[in-house]
Amino acid sequence: MNGTRPGWLALRQGQAVDVSSIPLVDADDFASHMLAGRGRGGRLANLFGRRLPDGGVRLFAFLAFDTDARIEVCAADLPHGKLTYPSVTAHWPAAQAFERELAEQYGVFPVGHAWLKPLRYHGTDDGSAAPWGPFEASEPIPGNYPFYRVEGEEVHEVAVGPVHAGIIEPGHFRFQCHGEEVLHLEVVLGYQHRGIERLLLHPNATRSAIVAETIAGDATVGHALAYCTALEALAGARVSLRASALRGIALELERLANHVGDLGALCTDVAFLPASAYLGRLRGEYLNLTLEICGNRFGRNLLRPGGVRFDISTTMADSMRERLRRLERETLEVLDLMFSQSSVLARFEGTGKLSEERADEIGMVGPAARACGLRRDVRCDHPHGVFQFSHIPIAVETTGDVYARAAVRWLEVQRSLEFLVELLGNKPEGPVFEPIGRLRPNAMALGMAETWRGESMHVAFTDEAGKLAFLKVKDPSIHNWFGLALALRGVAISDFPVCNKSFNLSYAGHDL
């Protein structure tokens, strides 16, 4: 690997390494070590902790170097009784959610963190106090949360959620407003915390794959793909090209369904009826294609470590191509209508702007980051499986507003459709499923996937017996929620729904 620096271990996605080969740095130097990595062009892809047997916590940091498909990892040990270290967030805001998670899970105190508040509202794993004090389960969530306030008698607060008017997930939004203007938005989540990472360690690998599919229901294939990639890497298994292609088809169908649905929902939010109705129907059509492959509209039970469980016959592929061609025509027609309607564009343009610097600083990923001009796409940057052979160009916009987020989706819809039509006509041959063997002991592997929301990352650790010992899941939403809060400053509160929909982040994925 070129460009590796001391104190870092370079790896690629789908690659397993020995846990012992991950370099350890001193906890006090951890932050500066990370900042040096940032200086070399690294992007904070993950930062998490793992409880050590002696009660201490080992921190793992993953920096992504997107231009040369490289991930660098380092670790630092916090001894039991002294779970503090200088915070990374103080200099690099991208770490804020991760360090809050550390504080919440293990009671680690990142000194100098400017926004140290509960992330998911649960107690630490051993019941010790988090930096903000002990967790009180009797309090209504998040009744005693230290909300930020804009002072002044004339300011009013708007508290939205946890129960929302639409069929969406629970979350609490606290606006500091004057008149119609939002001065500040604080997003407080945690209502959906299920303990996914513990559930994933189920001894039966099949059960664990089912859990991985439920991390974020609308990104079933994306998370399953990252999970499978990580496990296959640990087993040293190679998936056949045909299975990889099928995974790619499922992933892009998921992207199409969600992007089309989101664009329709954006139209609903600005009361542009025709596009909203047609895109809503078209979303169903894309979901039905997935249904035809695996019997589930959201692609459940399709991906398993070792391949996919359903094959597509040639006749089926032909009929799917046929339908995709028709859907492509219809979808692009409706999207043309939507993007040529000046009353729609008037609502989108300039709403909820986020600058490229801000987006980079807080480490955003996915379409929301690409809308700000950041070229980040796992399919291109860290290609694995079918994406190593057929490339999908990155769709980038620069304005960072609702329009840009919608336009990125529009472009991605077009490109996914092209990709699918091509791949369905030209599937490689081979078996679709081969059970994976035993996992390599004392190893770590990582799997990434560009879900339709952005980068998901599963990091798996095995113990000395080759059993799955620890699994860390990262949903793209954990990067992006903070971006939504920042984009809302100074925006009219009536534009919040359309802003929120343009990000369309996952609550369950954030709360895990």
Partner 1 sequence: MIKTGIYGLLRVLSWLPPLPRTCALVMVAFGVVSGVLGVLYALAQHDLKRLLAYHSVENIGIIGMGIGMGMLGGALGKPALVALGYGGALLHVLNHALFKGLLFLSAGAVIQATGTGEIDRLGGLARKTPVNAAFFLLAAISICGLPPLNGFVGEWIVYGALFEGTRSVPRLSAGVSALGVVSLALMGGLALACFVKVFGVVFLGKERTGTRVARATPGAMRAGMGVLAVLCVAIGVLPGLIVPLTGAGVQVIADLGPMEFERALPSVLAPAGRLSLLAMVFFGLIATLAVVRRGLIQKNAVALPSPVATWGCGYAAATPRMQYTASSFAWSLLSSFRALLCPERRLHAPAAVFSEAAHLESHTVDMAEQDLFAPLFRAASRVSRMIQTLSWTGEPAMERRSARASERLRPFVAVVVGATAAVRRGSIHVYVAFIAFTLLVVFAIEVWVAPGAEGHSAPISVMQGAPQ
Partner 2 sequence: MTVLRAIGAVPEAVAVLALPPMLLSIIAKTKAWFGGRDGPPWLQPYYDLMKLLRKGVVYSRTTTWVFRAGPIVNLAALLCAATLIPVFSDDTLLGFGGDVILIAYLLALGRMLTVLAAMDTGSSFEGMGASREVTFGTMSEPALFLSFVVLALATKSLSLAEMLGAPLQAAWGDVAPAMLLVVAALLIVLLTETCRVPVDDPATHLELTMIHEVMVLDHSGPDFAYITYAAALKFLLLGSILVHAALPHASWALWIDAPLRVVELAVLAMLVGVIESSLARLRLQRVSLLLAGAFVLSGLAAVLTFYRTHA
Among 41, 55, 134, 179, binds partner 1 (CB under 8 A): 179
CA distance 292 to 189: 35
**Min CB(269)–partner 2 separation in Å:** 7
The option from partner 1, partner 2, none interacting with 491 (CB < 5 to 8 A, set by class) reads none
Q: 238: helix, coil or strand? A: coil
The CA-atom distances, in angstroms, between 367 and each of 240, 332, 398, 464 are 29, 19, 11, 39
Asked if residue 162 has a cis previous peptide bond (ω within 30° of 0), the answer is yes
Q: Which of 82, 149, 156, 438 binds partner 2 (CB under 8 A)?
A: 156
- Residue 346 binds which of partner 2, partner 1, none (CB < 5-8 A, kind-dependent): partner 2
133 binds partner 1 (CB under 8 A): no
Q: Output the smallest distance, CB 47 to partner 1, in A.
A: 17
Is 439:467 a contact under the CB 8 Å cutoff?
Answer: yes
Task: Compute the least distance from the CB of residue 320 to partner 1, in Å.
Answer: 42
- Alpha-carbon separation of residue 228 from 60, 80, 244, 364 (angstroms): 21, 34, 11, 24
Residue 270 vs 369, nearer CB to partner 2: 270
Is 180 one of the binding residues for partner 2 (CB under 8 A)? yes
Query: Considering the complex, what minimum distance in angstroms separates the CB of residue 181 from partner 2?
Result: 10
**Alpha-carbon span 79 to 229, nearest angstrom:** 32
Site size toward partner 1, by CB under 8 A: 39
Among residues 497, 504, 508, 511, the one that binds partner 2 under rule CB under 8 A: 497
Q: Which residue has the tokens 């709403």?
A: 351
Instruction: List own/partner pairs for 354-357 with CB under 8 A and 24 or more apart.
Output: 354/400, 354/401, 354/483, 354/486, 354/487, 355/400, 356/398, 356/400
CA distance 403 to 458: 31
Structure tokens at 422: 């091509």
Please report whether residue 496 would count as binding partner 2 according to CB under 8 A: yes
Residue 52 sits in the site that holds partner 2 (CB under 8 A) = no
Q: 359: exposed, middle or buried (C-beta count within 10 Å: 0-12, 13-18, 19+)?
A: buried
Smallest distance from the beta carbon of 486 to partner 1, in angstroms?
7
111: enclosing H helix or E strand: strand 109-111
Between 170 and 350, name the residue whose CB sits nearer to partner 1.
Answer: 170
Please answer whether residues 234 and 470 qualify as being in contact, where contact means their C-beta atoms are separated by less than 8 angstroms: no
Which residue is listed with tokens 């991950």? Answer: 22
**x-or-dash pattern for partner 1, window 353-372, by CB under 8 A?**
-----x--xx----------
Q: How far is the CB of 166 from partner 2 (least distance, A)?
A: 5
The pairing of strands 156-160 and 16-18 is unpaired
Which of residues 193 and 347 has its CB atom nearest to partner 2 in the complex?
347
Residue 274 binds: one of partner 2, partner 1, none (C-beta under 5 to 8 A by kind): partner 2
Instruction: With contacts defined by CB under 8 A, name the span among 98-106, 365-373, 454-462, 484-492 that binds partner 1.
Output: 484-492
Instruction: Tell me the number of residues near partner 2 by CB under 8 A.
Output: 34
Q: Which positions from 141 to 170 touch partner 1 by CB under 8 A, shown as an x/- string?
A: --xx---x-xxxxxxxxxxxxxxx-----x
Q: For partner 1, which is the closer residue by CB, 180 or 422?
A: 180
Residue with smaller CB distance to partner 2, 178 or 207: 178
Q: Does 487 bind partner 2 (CB under 8 A)?
A: no
Contacting residues for 179 by C-beta, under 8 A, at least 6 apart: none
Strand 443-451 versus strand 303-304 pairing type: unpaired
Rounded to the nearest 5 degrees, what angle is found at the Cα of 429, between the Cα atoms of 16 and 391?
60
Q: Say whether residue 343 binds partner 2 (CB under 8 A).
A: yes
Positions that interact with partner 2 (CB under 8 A):
156-160, 165-166, 177, 179-180, 267-274, 276-278, 281, 341, 343-344, 346-347, 351, 492-497
Positions that interact with partner 1 (CB under 8 A):
93, 96, 114-115, 140, 143-144, 148, 150-164, 170, 172, 176-181, 183-184, 358, 361-362, 486, 489-490
